[in-house]
């Protein structure tokens, strides 16, 4: 036999277990990023916080009273989750990108980070959820009372304690538990892994309990589904008589679908606590499956209960009272714990979610506006934040308790529906926010407000009908006797179910006002940015919102703010990471708009986007204004920004290409003019021998009295000039090939000394003709260089013959030295000729430059030195004019010596 004391003790022990679970769950996920507590299964189970004691107890009662209607409560969420790809995926993605902390934060962030909208949504949520919390208190109270009433003496210490006192005790206990549970610290992303773990555990417990009771009742007591249904029919219970598929069915399906999105606790679990978008894929089928299991035994329990239980017993408690009356204490205790699980999980998550909203959107902004953020001790804002959350939890549970004591509705389901209809007022603004770019703050806020007022008038207030004569009077006659304002008969719309009536009017007016308000008002720049970021979240790369222009803000100011909110270690690591990224000392960190944007997101994770925005705006003075001005000037839409960024990129590329083309063009022009100059000089060099040839040919062609020696002489000149012309053309081609880079050129180790000896031998005839001496100075021995032996010889011939040609000294001498100095083979060819004048020194290696001092040579085209220099360059050496030991010119050839791998 169960006693009240025993179940209370069990409940307390159970709560203790939950606390331990949460504690270790927290530690586990902190230490282990891929913990199973971040798995899709735990995520799905935690979403089933949707199933509260309303579904645990109330669904049976609902079925007993309204037949299949109870199914709508499961149908709406099933539709939303099966179609997760459409709405939930977008919500979760936005939640992650924008660091959304609550449903109020979502709406505020979407509509231009408006603090006022956040406050409005928070207030509505608190008021809307109050009946829901009352429902849980009522369910727990009723379940304990059911145990107490089950047998003589079961009351125990509850003797003389009425429902109110019991509910107060429960509320106080819950408040304490939630405070211990959910506000131990302020997390960056507002995620509570430990709590989620405990909630998932509770989901398993309540499902197991309900299924166990269902199996026991259906098969143990009722003898199977068919027997239960036949028994009910025999007892004359006709729960199918009402046509369920009417307006009420539609309204409830819509409400439950809205609730799974809009309920603060569902938003908290589905969006805020989501650690991986892919988990939705699992939840998309697993959560509907969970709901199916939850509701499969609802009807049999309801029917069997109505068949066997005495008339007047509360059908909401059949789940508990059927095992009790069958004497199954163990099963009854399990049922109690299951119901307790359903209620506590709802209260915990709902009050955490609401407390976050209240502290972020109501308390923090007030503190931020009235005091200077930069003052106080290091943990000021964090401590305030926690304190404000604890107080909020207390206030929320107190409200729930007050509602419980003030209203008198016996059934659980209608109370839940009041909450559903209340939070459903957020749905139009959320859907418009996700899919309609033009939806504006003014439209959304007015829509929500109007919807809320209609809801409060037509649904919330009437729930006080039984306890307030004034409410009763208003409902009967209308305010001041105005009939068409009667809460359940608005504008003369009579004959509708009160729920349908309220849902119809509130959502209709809400939506109409939202649309009209959006069409008639203009969005601010920030709204437009946020609208694009939300509506097009999948279409574009994450938009780095540059909300601030670094004006007066210093890294120090920002650090103070961050430290207050995030705590010292997190703030420090954030700043250090940013400084490291930019490669500067943390103290020298320049607050760029990107960094301030990142900081804002981090702060938003703790205190909501609106508060974070306000907080940073105080530090970064004036930043917003200039942003909005800039945005307005640039026609503001994100597409324009991105488009112009693209354009800018493209035009930068074009500019670069144009510059390259310009350079190439200039180079081509330079080459072209060099080519013209070259051709002009070639032309000159060709015309010169041609002139002699033509002139002497004409002389010879004319009949004249030339003597034989003259004739012979002219013919010789013509011949010589022809040879000169040929040599000229050969040299031009040779030089051109050298400059272009001959493919056939191959450097191989050759003996440079040998090439020099051959060159001297070739020049021997020329030297003797001129009566010129060769003096050999120092000579290197066999020296290997990389090159072409014949070409090297050609260079030496050119140098020696130049020394001969232009030497007009009385005792002409050419001096040849060769040495190996620091890895280089060095050859000097010097003469005692007139030398090269200072002004000519730069020109001697130019094409077509010829020494003029000697003036005797007719064979050269002035290409010899240019060709020689090219040849030596191809051998990686150098040819230059140096100061020699003799008074004339001295040319020096340097070539790198090949290191011989093996020397014999």
Residue numbers of the site for another protein (CB under 8 A)? 680, 683-684, 687-696, 698-699, 704, 710, 717, 720-721, 852, 855-856, 858
Using CA atoms, how far apart are residues 169 and 156, in angstroms rounded to an integer?
16
**8 Å CB contact between 303 and 232:** yes
Nearer to another protein, 361 or 724 (CB): 724
Nearer to another protein, 138 or 805 (CB): 805
Instruction: Work out the number of other CB atoms within 10 angstroms of the CB of residue 1.
Output: 13
Q: Which of 460, 461, 483 is nearest to 470 (CA)?
A: 461
**8 Å CB contact between 337 and 209:** yes
Nearer to another protein, 84 or 848 (CB): 848
Per the listing, tokens 């430990």 go with: 194
Nearer to another protein, 567 or 851 (CB): 851
CB of 865 to another protein, least distance (A): 17
Q: Which two tokens stand for residue 390?
A: 């604890």
Secondary structure of residue 183 in the 3-state scheme: coil
Nearer to another protein, 576 or 676 (CB): 676
DSSP assignment of 302-338 equals HHHHHHHSPTT--GGGHHHHHHHHTT-HHHHHHHHHH
**8 Å CB contact between 85 and 412:** no
End-to-end CA separation in angstroms for the chain = 113
- The order of strands in the sheet holding 824-831 is 773-776, 813-821, 824-831, 890-896, 878-882
Nearer to another protein, 31 or 852 (CB): 852
Taken in order 370, 373, 375, 380, is the CA torsion positive or negative? positive
Nearer to another protein, 494 or 716 (CB): 716
List, as own/partner pairs, every contact residues 676-680 make where C-beta atoms lie below 8 angstroms and the sequence separation is at least 24, other chains included: 678/847
**8 Å CB contact between 126 and 354:** yes
CB of 696 to another protein, least distance (A): 6
CB of 711 to another protein, least distance (A): 12
**8 Å CB contact between 738 and 752:** no
Secondary structure of residue 725 in the 3-state scheme: helix
Q: Which of 787, 754, 888 is nearest to 829 (CA)?
A: 888
Nearer to another protein, 20 or 723 (CB): 723
3-class DSSP string for 508-567: HHHHHHHHHHHHHCCCCHHHHHHHHHHHCCCCCCCCCCCCCCCCCCCHHHHHHHHHHHHC
Q: Is 766 exposed, middle or buried (0-12, 13-18, 19+ CB in 10 A)?
A: middle
CB of 680 to another protein, least distance (A): 6
CB of 739 to another protein, least distance (A): 23
Nearer to another protein, 749 or 856 (CB): 856
**8 Å CB contact between 349 and 136:** no
Nearer to another protein, 369 or 684 (CB): 684
Q: What are the helix and strand counts (H, E) for the chain?
A: 35, 7
Distance from CA of residue 7 to its chain's centroid?
Answer: 50
Nearer to another protein, 626 or 716 (CB): 716
Nearer to another protein, 14 or 696 (CB): 696
Nearer to another protein, 657 or 691 (CB): 691
CB of 789 to another protein, least distance (A): 31
Q: Between helices 115-150 and 329-358, what is the axis angle to 10°?
A: 160
Using DSSP bridges, classify how beta strands 813-821 and 773-776 pair: parallel, antiparallel or unpaired. parallel
Nearer to another protein, 754 or 846 (CB): 846
CB of 870 to another protein, least distance (A): 25
CB of 721 to another protein, least distance (A): 6
Per the listing, tokens 């679908």 go with: 257
CB of 690 to another protein, least distance (A): 4
CB of 644 to another protein, least distance (A): 52
Distance from CA of residue 83 to its chain's centroid?
Answer: 25
CB of 768 to another protein, least distance (A): 15
Nearer to another protein, 838 or 899 (CB): 838
CB of 866 to another protein, least distance (A): 18
Residue 355: its H or E element: helix 329-358
Q: Which of 796, 792, 731, 791 is nearest to 762 (CA)?
A: 796
CB of 862 to another protein, least distance (A): 11
Using CA atoms, how far apart are residues 215 and 222, in angstroms rounded to an integer?
9
**8 Å CB contact between 117 and 618:** no
CB of 835 to another protein, least distance (A): 16
CB of 766 to another protein, least distance (A): 12
Residues in CB range of 774: below 8 A, 6 or more apart: 760, 767, 813, 814, 815, 816
CB of 728 to another protein, least distance (A): 13
CB of 894 to another protein, least distance (A): 31
Using CA atoms, how far apart are residues 861 and 93, in angstroms rounded to an integer?
80
Nearer to another protein, 641 or 699 (CB): 699
CA-atom Rg of the chain in angstroms? 49
Nearer to another protein, 128 or 864 (CB): 864
**8 Å CB contact between 298 and 58:** no
Instruction: Work out the number of other CB atoms within 10 angstroms of the CB of residue 560.
Output: 16
CB of 855 to another protein, least distance (A): 7
Nearer to another protein, 651 or 858 (CB): 858
Question: Distances in Å between the alpha carbon of 430 and those of 80, 88, 124?
Answer: 14, 11, 15
């Amino acid at each position: 036999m169960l006693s009240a004391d025993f179940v209370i003790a069990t409940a307390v022990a159970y709560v203790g277990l939950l606390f331990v679970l949460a504690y270790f769950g927290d530690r586990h996920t902190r230490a282990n990023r891929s913990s199973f507590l971040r798995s899709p299964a735990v995520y799905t189970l935690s979403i089933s916080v949707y199933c509260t004691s309303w579904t645990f107890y109330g669904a049976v009662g609902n079925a007993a009273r309204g037949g299949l209607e109870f199914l709508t409560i499961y149908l709406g969420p099933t539709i939303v989750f099966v179609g997760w790809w459409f709405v939930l995926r977008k919500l979760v993605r936005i939640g992650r990108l924008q660091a959304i902390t609550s449903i109020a934060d979502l709406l505020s962030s979407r509509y231009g980070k408006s603090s006022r909208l956040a406050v409005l949504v928070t207030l509505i949520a608190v008021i809307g959820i109050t009946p829901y919390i009352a429902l849980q208190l009522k369910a727990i109270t009723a379940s304990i009372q059911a145990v107490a009433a089950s047998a003589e003496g079961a009351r125990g210490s509850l003797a003389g304690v009425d429902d109110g006192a019991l509910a107060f005790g429960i509320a106080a206990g819950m408040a304490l538990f939630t405070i211990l549970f959910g506000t131990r610290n302020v997390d960056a992303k507002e995620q509570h892994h430990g709590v989620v773990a405990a909630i998932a555990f509770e989901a398993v417990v309540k499902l197991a309990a309900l299924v166990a009771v269902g199996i026991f009742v259906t098969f143990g007591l009722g003898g199977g589904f068919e027997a239960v249904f036949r028994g009910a029919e025999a007892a004359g219970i006709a729960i199918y008589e009402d046509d369920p598929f009417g307006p009420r069915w539609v309204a409830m399906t819509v409400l439950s679908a809205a609730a799974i999105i809009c309920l603060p606790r569902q938003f908290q679990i589905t969006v805020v606590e989501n650690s991986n978008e892919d988990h939705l894929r699992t939840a998309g089928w697993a959560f509907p499956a969970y709901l199916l299991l939850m509701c499969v035994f609802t009807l049999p329990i309801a029917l069997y209960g109505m068949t066997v239980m005495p008339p007047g017993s509360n059908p909401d408690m059949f789940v508990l009272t059927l095992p009790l009356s069958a004497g199954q204490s163990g099963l009854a205790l399990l049922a109690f714990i299951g119901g307790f699980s359903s209620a506590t999980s709802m209260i915990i998550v709902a009050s955490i979610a609401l407390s976050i909203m209240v502290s972020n959107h109501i308390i923090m902004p007030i503190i931020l506006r009235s005091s200077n953020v930069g003052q106080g001790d290091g943990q000021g804002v964090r401590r305030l934040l926690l304190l404000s959350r604890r107080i909020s939890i207390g206030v929320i549970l107190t409200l729930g308790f007050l509602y419980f004591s003030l209203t008198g509705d016996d059934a659980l389901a209608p109370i839940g529906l009041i909450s559903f209809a209340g939070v459903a007022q957020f749905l139009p603004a959320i859907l418009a926010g996700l899919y309609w770019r033009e939806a504006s703050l003014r439209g959304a806020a007015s829509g929500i407000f109007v919807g809320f007022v209609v809801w409060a008038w037509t649904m919330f207030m009437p729930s006080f009908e039984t306890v307030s004569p004034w409410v009763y009077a208003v409902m009967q006659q209308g305010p001041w006797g105005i009939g068409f304002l009667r809460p359940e008969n608005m504008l003369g719309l009579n004959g509708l179910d009160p729920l349908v009536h309220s849902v119809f009017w509130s959502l209709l007016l809400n939506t109409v006002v939202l649309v009209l308000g959006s069409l008639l008002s203009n969005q601010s720049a920030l709204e437009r940015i946020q609208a694009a970021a939300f509506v097009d979240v999948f279409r574009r790369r994450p938009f780095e919102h540059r909300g601030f222009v670094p004006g007066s803000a210093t890294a120090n100011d920002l650090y103070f703010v961050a430290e207050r909110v995030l705590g010292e270690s997190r703030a420090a690591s954030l700043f250090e990471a940013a400084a490291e990224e930019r490669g500067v000392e943390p103290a020298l960190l320049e607050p760029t708009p990107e960094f301030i944007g990142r900081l804002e997101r981090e702060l938003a994770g703790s205190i909501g986007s609106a508060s974070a925005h306000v907080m940073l705006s105080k530090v970064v003075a004036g930043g917003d204004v200039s942003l909005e001005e800039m945005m307005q000037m640039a026609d503001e839409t994100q597409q324009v920004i991105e488009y112009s960024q693209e354009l800018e990129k493209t035009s930068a590329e074009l500019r670069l290409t144009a510059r390259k083309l310009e350079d190439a063009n200039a180079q081509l022009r330079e080459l072209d003019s060099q080519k013209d100059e070259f051709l002009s000089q070639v032309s000159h060099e060709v015309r010169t021998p041609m002139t002699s040839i033509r002139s002497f040919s004409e002389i010879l062609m004319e009949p004249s009295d030339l003597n034989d020696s003259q004739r012979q002489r002219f013919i010789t000149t013509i011949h010589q000039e022809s040879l000169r012309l040929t040599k000229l053309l050969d040299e031009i081609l040779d030089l051109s090939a050298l400059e272009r880079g001959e493919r056939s050129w191959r450097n191989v180790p050759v003996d440079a000394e040998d090439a020099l000896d051959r060159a001297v031998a070739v020049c021997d005839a020329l030297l003797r003709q001129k009566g010129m001496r060769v003096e050999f100075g120092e000579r290197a021995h066999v020296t290997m260089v990389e090159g072409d032996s014949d070409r090297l010889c050609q260079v030496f011939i050119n140098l020696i013959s130049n020394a001969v040609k232009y030497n007009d000294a009385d005792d002409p001498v050419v001096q040849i030295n060769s040495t190996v100095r620091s890895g280089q083979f060095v050859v000097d060819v010097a003469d005692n000729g007139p030398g090269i004048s200072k002004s000519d020194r730069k020109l001697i290696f130019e094409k077509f430059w010829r020494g003029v001092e000697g003036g005797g040579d007719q064979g050269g085209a002035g290409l010899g030195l240019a060709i020689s220099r090219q040849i030596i360059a191809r051998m990686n050496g150098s040819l230059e004019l140096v100061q020699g030991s003799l008074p004339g010119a001295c040319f020096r050839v340097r070539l790198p010596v090949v290191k011989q791998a093996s020397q014999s």
